Amino acid sequence: MIDDILRSALEAKASDVHIHAGAPPLFRVHTVMQPSDFPVVTADSAVRIAKSMMNDRRWDDFEQKRDADFSYEIPGCGRYRVNAHFQRGTVALSIRTIDDKVRPLEQLFLPDIVMKLTYLPRGLILVTGPTGSGKSTTLAGMIDAINRRDRGHIVTLEDPIEYALASNKCAIEQREVGGDVPDFASGLRHVLRQDPDTILVGEMRDLETTSAAITAAETGHLVLSTLHTVNAPQTIERIIDIYPSDQQNQIRSMLANTLQAVVSQTLFRRTDQPGMIPAVEVMLCTPAVRNCIRENRIFEIPNVIETSRALGMQTLDSSIKQLYVNGYITREDAIAQAAHPEKLERALVA
């Protein structure tokens, strides 16, 4: 049954499928949730669907932990990132469609500076944004650019593996949390002995993972990762706040030395054609930004971004304005998702 649902979702160009008891499977198409033509899911059928997507070991673990993240594949159809969970005592599933092919950076409507970041030999690059903002697509595009150009060793740590990356000029190893490695932190501790040039960490979600990622960047590797934050200042504050208060001055110094850039994304529904397009904030770690981090003057970073456009930086609102001016998005969507709605509204009038 689940394969039929997912094939129907593919035909509808849905980005997500939601399954829970008491409603038919729901498809998210270009950000809008809509019911499918399938029957209402019962509590028993939700269990059957979830079980059909897991092996026995994963199902036992899911029953114990009440949450599970894993990938699912239908040969000839597509790959999916799945979160299984319980709600009101019944099983539910949130399923994200994964493109079967990595889209090159040149096709993602990202600023040119994002491609230039892939040439960095070392340091930490963070791609941030809310769930469903295209972070994984951007990271896959960056890895693909390195893979097509350089001769090195790329190791990814993912939960679960989303894009299946084939070695080109680089040797690529993909390790899945829960299968190939117990957790992100463990994988990062051992990855430094695997002779990597580039390390992709699916998410910096806790103190141990964050600390290990920063250490890897400090020791001369290029580290790419994600955070669920909406802009560069919030990203920096989130990282610092993960640490105990007596370690925060030290991590400010470490972060100031290792962070290279923060790319923050928000997806918009296009008006000129079906599909989505990102608005992107870019912060590069110039000496001015590094001083702001080191001296705990994070509140000054937006001004630095605003005044450093010549270097490739841009604010989210300036990116949103450009999308509107070019006819890609509506005025209402532009203002609704702006960091400073009133300011942007005045700018659009001008």
The span from the CA of 314 to the CA of 69, in Å, is: 34
pTM for the full predicted model: 0.86
pLDDT in 10s for each residue of the chain, 350 residues: 899 999 999 999 899 999 999 999 999 998 889 999 999 999 999 999 999 999 998 999 999 999 998 889 888 888 898 999 999 999 999 999 887 688 999 999 999 999 999 999 999 999 999 988 999 999 999 999 999 999 999 999 998 888 889 999 999 999 988 889 998 889 998 998 999 999 999 999 899 999 999 999 999 999 999 999 999 999 999 999 999 999 999 999 999 999 999 999 999 999 999 889 999 999 999 999 999 999 999 999 999 999 999 999 999 999 999 999 999 999 999 999 999 999 999 998 75
Q: Are 314 and 281 in contact (CB under 8 A)?
A: yes
Please name the residue ranges forming H helices in 53-175.
56-65, 112-117, 135-149
* 3-class SS shares of the chain: helix, strand, coil, % to 5: 40, 25, 35
In a domain, 323, yes or no: no
In a domain, 324, yes or no: no
Regarding whether 69 and 166 lie in a shared domain, the answer is no
Enclosing domain of residue 299? 105-314
Residue 137 burial by CB count (10 A; 0-12/13-18/19+): exposed, middle or buried?
buried
Give 293's Cβ-side CA count (13 Å radius): 31
SS3 125: strand
Q: How many domains does the chain have?
A: 2
The span from the CA of 230 to the CA of 249, in Å, is: 23
In a domain, 202, yes or no: yes
In a domain, 338, yes or no: no
Regarding whether 161 and 92 lie in a shared domain, the answer is no
The span from the CA of 150 to the CA of 13, in Å, is: 34
Rounded to 10 deg, the angle between the 43-52 and 56-65 helix axes is 130
Regarding whether 299 and 223 lie in a shared domain, the answer is yes
Regarding whether 142 and 183 lie in a shared domain, the answer is yes
For the record, the structure tokens of 252 come out as: 């400010």
CATH number at 109 reads: 3.40.50.300
The helix or strand, by DSSP H or E, that contains position 107, with its residue range, turns out to be none
CATH number at 79 reads: 3.30.450.90
